[in-house]
A and B are shown apart, each in its own frame.
Chain A
Amino acid sequence: MARVGVFICHCGENIGRTVDCAAVAKAAEAFPGVVKSVDYKYMCSDPGQQMIKDAIRDERLTGVVVGACSPRMHEPTFRRAAFEAGLNPYLLEMANLREHCSWVHEDRPVATEKAIDLMRVMVEKVKKNAELRPIRVPVEPTALVIGGGIAGIQAALDIAGGGKKVILVERSPSLGGHMARLSETFPTLDCSQCILTPRMVEAANHPNITLMTYSEVTKVDGFIGNFEVTVRQKARYVDPEKCTGCGACFEKCPAKKIPSEFDAALGNRTAIYRPFPQAVPNKPVIDAEHCIMLTKGKCGICAKVCPTGAIKYDDKDREVIVKVGAIVVATGFELWDHSAYGEYGAGRLEDVINGFQFERLASASGPTTGEIRRPSDGRIAESVVFIQCCGSRDPKRGVPYCSKICCMYTAKHAILYRHKVHHGRAVVFYMDVRAGGKGYDEFVRRAIETEGAEYIRGRVSRIYRRKDGRLVVKGADTLAGRPVEIVADMVVLADAIVPQPGASRLAQMLGVSYDEYGFYSEAHPKLRPVETAKAGVFLAGACQAPKDIPESVAQASAAAAKVLGLFSQPELEREPIVAKVNEVTCVHCRACIQACPYGAIEDKEIKDSKGNLIRTVACVNEGECQGCGTCVAVCRSGSIDLDGFTDEEVLAEIAALE
């Protein structure tokens, strides 16, 4: 005989405002099989959970229904409480009285009526529920980190430091990401390279870290604890074992006029190149698209000058499959392309540059060795205009969100510029200054009050090049209520932060959701900021949203902690919500095998005791089944059922509504 307990949560006012919780509890008392029915302000709190535990013991409950929020939110909480009180956790069900009822209705009596229905349905289901046992799967204690910028490096170092193996995959030839390109960092003006490059070296030398640079993830299979990831290692045309990094090859390479990615096209590189002198690994690669030997079949100078014979023109891309238990995605960001702004010159004015370009100009290792020279003619820029929110907060032609870091790096740019060009004029156009962070607002005030940057509140409408080569910047000072026109030698646009190109393609491979701009979505915006909705895949850095360095590093360490937590047990418990085939009735039509989106169903041969094949049936691999129910729907002989959602359970729910 069923003995069901009903627990109605007010969720503060979230449910209580629209649903008469006491009335629901009262009504549920009358449901057949219900022996206990109560309501409480916060059922998820400690006293709330205690009520459930006590009732399970005192009333010898055989089933529990909690009417509260979405099971996505608190089903694990309540099932743990049931388990602690000695009840099989799968004998506890939740009715969603919040998202499915109170939040979407206004009329209190009607909402209360619906809440009663929802409770009745779940009470009928829970009476049919079977005890289920969690499935245990082994965990491969190796992590994959995608992206070798500061976030990826940090996550890799922390996981490796925790004693677990890491494979660090980076698309470009070197670790370092965008941070390696920065001159100084806000708000302390620490030299970016000085704080980053030791970390790069540490990551490369760490015994637990396997570095795969110039490599890309092309395929992801499997599930938490057991991913199989295909990584394409691009042909480097240089044997890293033989190469000593002496540099003879790129000194002699005749293809010299290739815009350097690292220098944001303000400088050139050769076809065989290392992105920057401090690159890790410090070994060159050949850019096949521009190499004369690889495109025209003649040249071969690098091979001739290489003292160790490391050049391999016949190198090929290789695909490697790695097995990992967790994945940290740290693919970072890119700058929005301001050529969409025709009024700012559509990207065609040489002296209108973006933030990275200014970083390279200001960097001691940059193309001008740190002198602020304008690209068009190499003259020192005597006057620079910085424009914030270029593409950001522009729902019409850019992105509607705030890119968060631009206020700070623009203040840094203005300060660096004034340090380098003492008599120069630094004008900053801004809409709002968003400097929330430790020492941030002080830093912006410093730019204005002691470093002499002129801040003007207003957007710029137009930039054009005058006959004498200088730029005319037409802006507004909305505080003074008048237009302003500044003549400048150079304009630096704080372009919006956008995800890396290809971010959405990677997300689809990983099964991670992403927003309309391509930023990856966290599992919960407040309480699960580093997890994704895909178990075993974690996020670090600006691939999730615009972030500065300290935030990216903090999130990377948080992701590492999550990975280490996952790897702390040799096996992983999974929800036993998986499909089961009735081998007696299965006719082996293979429709389920075709339909399964996870490839989790395979053929199974049934043999007699002598080993003769009797027949073949479908069989679900519990480790891979995700419990989606597609096979149940396509099975023509009705031979598949989903544990936790059996036909009998679901029909009982439906019947309760009539």
Chain B
Amino acid sequence: MAHTETHEKTLADKILERTGVDVRECYQCGKCTAGCPMVQFMDLTPSQVMRLVQIGDREAVQTLLSSQTLWSCVGCLTCTQRCPKDLDPAAVMDALREIAYQEGLVPDAQRNVLKFHQAFLKTVEHTGRMSEVPLTALYKTLSRDFFSDVLLAPAMLLRGKLPLVPRVIGGRKEVRRIFKRCLDPERPDRADEETQEDRP
């Protein structure tokens, strides 16, 4: 196993650091798998995810970070709520997803989930809020999935649920700076000169 070969932090340690969840406590009862609403869309069951983090060798890490499961987890917390060991598999999924994203290991089949999240964040980064039209447009461009849900648009418009003018907030530059610091903590701020004008 990797952690016996090197002095690097094991995956379990990284997860503990990020989430406070010590996966060594997992005794593989399977209750998380049993209750997961998305499990049929996963290649690894939640309990297998926990097990692979416990193993933590190179092969396990590879399997985990490139798995479909991370992108199928909807964060419903059913697993966390029912875990008899009071662990938080949902938080472990979040942490693994983030690591997979940072390391560029998102599987092709899950690109749409990633694209949607990216489109969502892009929209928020630029305007401070999410607006359906720019979000959908951006998502469709990124994912090249032009046709799904198109039929819903007219009906949404009709019901006043698809405002065409994007919502923009006064502090959008401030929001952009928050994004920069979170996404790119190493890089110094370039938006400093704008600070004065967009403080509300």
Contacts and interface: CB of A to CB of B under 8 A. Distances in A.
A touching B, CB within 8 angstroms: yes
Given A431-B27, A461-B78, A483-B45, A396 B34 contact: no
Contact of A398 (B35, B47, B84): B84
A460 B84 contact: no
A483 B40 contact: yes
B67 interface: no
A304 to B, nearest CB: 56
Contact of B45 (A343, A389, A393, A482): A482
B45 A462 contact: no
A475 interface: yes
Residue of B32, B35, B36, B39 with highest tally of chain A CB at under 10 A: B35
A190 interface: no
Given A396-B85, A457-B30, A459-B29, A478 B47 contact: yes
A431 B86 CA distance: 17
Contact of B39 (A457, A459, A483): A483
Interface residues of A, number: 24
Given A476-B30, A478-B28, A478-B47, A396 B35 contact: no
Contacts of B35: 343, 461-462, 474
A484 B84 CA distance: 19
Contacts of A476: 30-34, 45, 47
**Interface residue tally of chain B, by bracket?**
20 to 34
Nearest to A482: B45
A395 B32 CA distance: 16
B181 interface: no
A257 interface: no
Interface string B7-48: 000000000000000000001111111111001100011011
A483 B34 contact: yes
Contact of B30 (A396, A462, A478): A478
B83 interface: yes
B82 interface: yes
A462 B79 CA distance: 11
A59 interface: no
A393 B84 contact: yes
Contacts of A477: 30
Contacts of B39: 482-483
A396 B27 contact: no
B41 to A, nearest CB: 12
Contacts of A397: 84
Nearest to B45: A481
B84 A395 contact: yes
Contacts of B32: 461, 476
Contacts of A481: 33, 44-45, 47-48
Contacts of A478: 28-30, 33, 45, 47
Interface string A383-398: 0000001000111111
Interface string B117-142: 00000000000000000000000000
Contacts of A431: 27, 29-30
Interface string A468-509: 000000111110011110000000000000000000000000
Nearest to B81: A343
Contacts of A474: 34-35
A461 B45 contact: no
Interface string A436-471: 000000000000000000000111111000000000
B68 to A, nearest CB: 14
A481 B137 CA distance: 38
Nearest to A458: B30
A394 B78 contact: no
Interface string B79-95: 00011111000000000
Given A431-B27, A478-B28, A483 B84 contact: no
Nearest to B51: A478
Contact of A395 (B28, B33, B85): B85
B187 to A, nearest CB: 42
Contact of A462 (B28, B34, B86): B34
B37 to A, nearest CB: 10
Contacts of B47: 458, 476, 478, 481
A483 B86 contact: no
Interface in A321-350: 343
A483 B82 contact: no
A483 B84 CA distance: 18
A403 to B, nearest CB: 14
Nearest to B25: A395
Contacts of B48: 481
Contacts of B85: 395-396
Contacts of A484: 34
Contacts of B28: 478
Contacts of A457: 30
B86 A458 contact: no
Contacts of B27: 393, 431
Contacts of A459: 29-31, 34, 84
Nearest to A389: B29
A484 B48 CA distance: 15
Nearest to B78: A461
Contacts of B78: 461
A461 B86 contact: no
B67 to A, nearest CB: 12
19 contacts: A343-B82, A393-B27, A395-B85, A396-B83, A397-B84, A431-B29, A458-B29, A461-B32, A475-B30, A475-B34, A476-B30, A476-B47, A478-B45, A481-B44, A481-B45, A481-B48, A482-B33, A482-B45, A483-B39
Interface of A: 343, 389, 393-398, 431, 457-462, 474-478, 481-484
Given A481-B33, A481-B45, 4 more contacts: A458-B47, A476-B31, A478-B30, A483-B33
Interface of B: 27-36, 39-40, 44-45, 47-48, 78, 82-86
- 7 nearest CB pairs, A to B: A461-B35, A458-B30, A476-B30, A461-B34, A476-B34, A394-B84, A478-B30
